[in-house]
Amino acid sequence: MPQIIDGKAISAQIKDELKEKVAALKQEGTSLCLAVIQVGNDPASSVYVGNKKKACAYIGIESLSYELDESTTQEELLNLIKELNKRQDVNGILVQLPLPGHIDEDLVIRTIDPSKDVDGFHPQSVGTLCIGQKGFVSCTPAGIIQLLKRSGIEIAGKECVIIGRSNIVGKPMALLLLRENGTVTVAHSKTANLKDVAKRADILVVAVGKPKMITRDYVKEGAVVIDVGIHRNENNKLCGDVDYDDVAPICSAITPVPGGVGPMTIAMLMNNCVESAALNR
């Protein structure tokens, strides 16, 4: 049977490490504060935002919560971000996505001061990642690198295939695996012979957004499989983009859903908040 990569345990370990760092920062007089903005009350977003605030409380980071009405105008949101950009006591600004249709997400992301962009979504953060300079890295792909490293999985020299090319996961994932000296292929919905391409992977990262799409026909025997997807199946149970029961017996390591990649996103957000406070102290 494969190694089951325990994202819950690894994220707990990272959060405990961060808790110690926060205590040390506070001792030298550095305050830590994350501003969390949600517009509207999408139930999934409310769960994510609640978990982020809970993680802040656990680690010792203050969180400022802005729960704005669905009808909030773009100008009102931009003004709030500009105000938070100016505040010395705020280290990080997170605007939960998706935003209502009348608000331009790109413009919102661009308005966040890159030194407080703990989500790593600002074009400047993406640019620094691309050229290998310091900057905030998108939390889910950063978490996947930690999962691999802390599970003793070597990346250098490995064939890495990512299925999915989103700005939040696929593209930054490619850059991070490249930074770790992997040989990287980004596949997507228009890729020809997707099964053959995926089967080249020593490390296969799946972020397609389709429940249980990846069966063992896409996986080389002995590969490491990282599943970014999370869905509810017909019985209201959580499942990923990978058909776990079909794939697990043939791979060397695999992330479960839930309890794999998911918990890592929040741990890395906390890491970015601590880095932001340490850099700007």
Contact (Cβ atoms closer than 8 angstroms) between residue 195 and residue 218: yes
12: helix, coil or strand? helix
The one catalytic residue among 6, 38, 96, 243 = 96
Q: Which is nearer to ligand GUN, 123 or 157 (CB)?
A: 123
Interatomic CA distance for residues 124 and 117, integer angstroms: 9
Q: Is 230 in the site for ligand GUN (CB under 6 A)?
A: no
246 is an active site residue = no
**Residue with the closest Cβ to ligand GUN?**
97
Interatomic CA distance for residues 276 and 281, integer angstroms: 8
Name residue 209's amino acid. Answer: G
Contact (Cβ atoms closer than 8 angstroms) between residue 209 and residue 229: yes
Q: Which is nearer to ligand GUN, 25 or 261 (CB)?
A: 261
Q: Which is nearer to ligand GUN, 219 or 267 (CB)?
A: 267
The one catalytic residue among 52, 171, 199, 220 = 52
Site string for ligand GUN, 158-197 (x = CB under 6 A): ----------------------------------------
Residue 193 CB, nearest approach to ligand GUN (Å): 31
Q: Is 214 left (phi over 0), alpha (psi -120 to 50) or beta?
A: beta
Assigned token pair, 82? 């500009």
3-state helix, strand, coil in the chain (%, to 5): 45, 15, 40
Q: Which is nearer to ligand GUN, 25 or 99 (CB)?
A: 99
Interatomic CA distance for residues 174 and 272, integer angstroms: 20
With CB under 6 A as the contact rule, the residue among 14, 81, 94, 174 that binds ligand GUN is 94
52 is an active site residue = yes
202 is an active site residue = no
Q: Is 265 in the site for ligand GUN (CB under 6 A)?
A: yes
Contact (Cβ atoms closer than 8 angstroms) between residue 160 and residue 147: no
Q: Can you give the binding site for ligand GUN, defined by CB under 6 A?
A: 94-97, 119, 139, 265
**Residues with catalytic annotation?**
52, 96, 119
